[in-house]
A and B are shown apart, each in its own frame.
Chain A
Amino acid sequence: MSGAGANRMGPGGWTTLILAGVYFVVPLAMTAAFSLWEGGSTYGFEAYRLLLASADLPDALLLSMELALATVAALLLLLVPAMIFMNLYAPGLRPLFEFIATLPFVVPAIALVAGLTALFTGPEWLIGTPFYLVIPYFFLALPFAYRSLDVGLRAIDLTTLTEAGQSLGAGMGQIIRMVILPSLRAALVGSTLLTLAVVMGEFTFANVLLFRTFAVYMNQMGQHEATAAAALAVVSFLITWAAMLGVLIAGRGQTSIPGGH
């Protein structure tokens, strides 16, 4: 079908496609080329060597990873049970869920930061540490995680599967563990990777709140080591692509190689 679609595409379609390709590929290629520039007319991997040698990069990367994992855990622990419950027992609440899940798109990040700093009172263990960032990251990643889980839940007949499990003598816990979560594997992987990508790339919050995450580090480096920052950008692009590829492969696995064991 998609083959037939491609054949039917007129010259206008091709022009658009090529222009879009140029639009995406040129900046990337220039960034990659710039990351290899060593001054004058010499090119090499000096910028990447510099990156690896940097003492601060592992710390920044580790911090971002920790934040990402904490955000994933918070999102999944809250969203999965809430969405299963909503679908089974309160489908009338769906519009409310949809509304909440799109709010972060509507409120600009900087407004969120302003709101957060106003809340600068709270327990010591949270406010003083970078894990304070999990709160805004939770809301930033919420729409993506929600959408991915929603697609997964719509693909299975949750009510019938639950009732089938109950009629076979299983309790709700057993049904969630043995049937629902395994059937949502692709959606769970998808929302995890999307959340990772969002958190790894987030700059505004971390910068304003003065934490040195991966994105902040990249920005600081760009101010004095422009080629190294470009190298970092290329690397983070590759990481994001790998994450997206992961989503695609997990999604494909759902239909062709059912998992579970």
Chain B
Amino acid sequence: MATVEVNRVSKSFAGRQVLADLSLTMGEGELVCLLGPSGCGKTTLLRIIAGFIPPESGRVLVAGKDVTALSPSARRMGMVFQAYSLFPNMTALDNVRFGPRVAGRPKSEQIARAGQLLDLVGLSEHADKYPHQLSGGQQQRVALARALAVQPQVLLLDEPLSALDAKVRVQLREEIRRIQRETGVTTVLVTHDQEEALSISDRVAVMNEGRLLQVASPSTIYREPSCGFVARFIGSGAVLRGVAEGHSVRVANLALPASAAAAHVHGAAVEMFIRPENVRLQPMNGQLPPGAVGVEVRERTFLGSLTRIRLTLPGTDDQFSLWADLASEQAEAFIPGSRVVAQWDEAAPRVMPDADAGLRNG
């Protein structure tokens, strides 16, 4: 149980910058998910915290102490890997007591501790099995117990669930959260599954290209993404590029209602973001009501109780899409190819400055 501070860490491989002056502070007992697309540097950051690779510049502090120069074995950090990493020549119990064993603890203590931890992960009956006799999910549970056996100050998990099937993944992530709460160990979990990140973390850190774009609670990340990238990456929704004009955003000659646009300079390049649950649809009959937009239904995706409908703005050559989530029985009325009326609460869209606008125009 300790605070972790990553302080202005940079790292390049073969001249390519992978982490750029990155800082992240974690409180005691906090679970932070590192979320980002493949190759954005999540594993690199985790391995720098663990001590497997040295940062080029910057420091890592644990409980206020600089550990940057310490070897991985001196850092007291538990680690669970994406690949199955149990020692194949040892039983589950021997795997779990490996840490206390190399630390020279008495054998009775090693076994008692390993037994408790196998209990904690619900695998007491499998103590005498070898890794190849355990399922993938069971192996990762043993790996978790093994990492906890050294009473780590920090627990580092690099996509521990990505090799498991969906059902086991959901079950195990909840278990990881329960165990993390019970042990109170400060935890970093790397994932590129946004649902996983939103469901179990205290805070989510969204990364792209070696930078942290936003670090905030799951609900803040979901409702108030700080930029177009976070908005696109988390959940689903439409990000439309346009120009702020009073209480609306002009996108391809259509004024889309968005009161948040008023906070931007008139004529500024912005990105408007709206989630599918905020878009309502009606059949087209006669006049467009004020604040409504005529759109075309493109395709419907059945998601169970909900159906997601993709809509395009007229006269934009399919360049601008929005999505609407409807109860599935309601969605049947909206046939692909038909013109319908889309409406949303003026306050629902987020409007963010378009960071790439300069690049695109220049």
Contact = CB atoms under 8 A, between A and B. Distances in A.
A167 B130 contact: no
A258 B129 CA distance: 10
B50 interface: yes
Interface in A128-178: 156-157, 160-161, 163-171, 174, 178
Contacts, number: 79
A183 interface: yes
B209 to A, nearest CB: 25
Nearest to A155: B88
Contacts of B287: none
A260 B81 contact: no
Contact of A163 (B72, B74, B87, B149): B72
A178 B87 CA distance: 9
A171 B99 CA distance: 11
A182 interface: yes
A167 B77 contact: yes
A169 B78 CA distance: 9
A181 B73 CA distance: 20
B85 A157 contact: yes
What bracket does the count of chain A residues touching chain B fall in?
A: 20 to 34
Given A169-B150, A170-B73, A160 B99 contact: no
B72 A166 contact: yes
Contact of B98 (A156, A157, A165): A165
Contacts of B72: 163, 166-167
Interface in A36-64: none
B73 A166 contact: yes
A166 B71 CA distance: 9
B79 A182 contact: no
A48 B265 CA distance: 105
B305 interface: no
Interface of B: 50, 52, 71-79, 81, 83-90, 94, 98-99, 102-103, 130, 132, 143, 146-147, 149-150, 156
Closest 10 CB pairs of A and B: A182-B89, A167-B79, A168-B99, A260-B89, A170-B102, A164-B85, A166-B72, A160-B85, A258-B130, A166-B73
Interface of A: 156-157, 160-161, 163-171, 174, 178-179, 182-183, 185, 255, 258-260
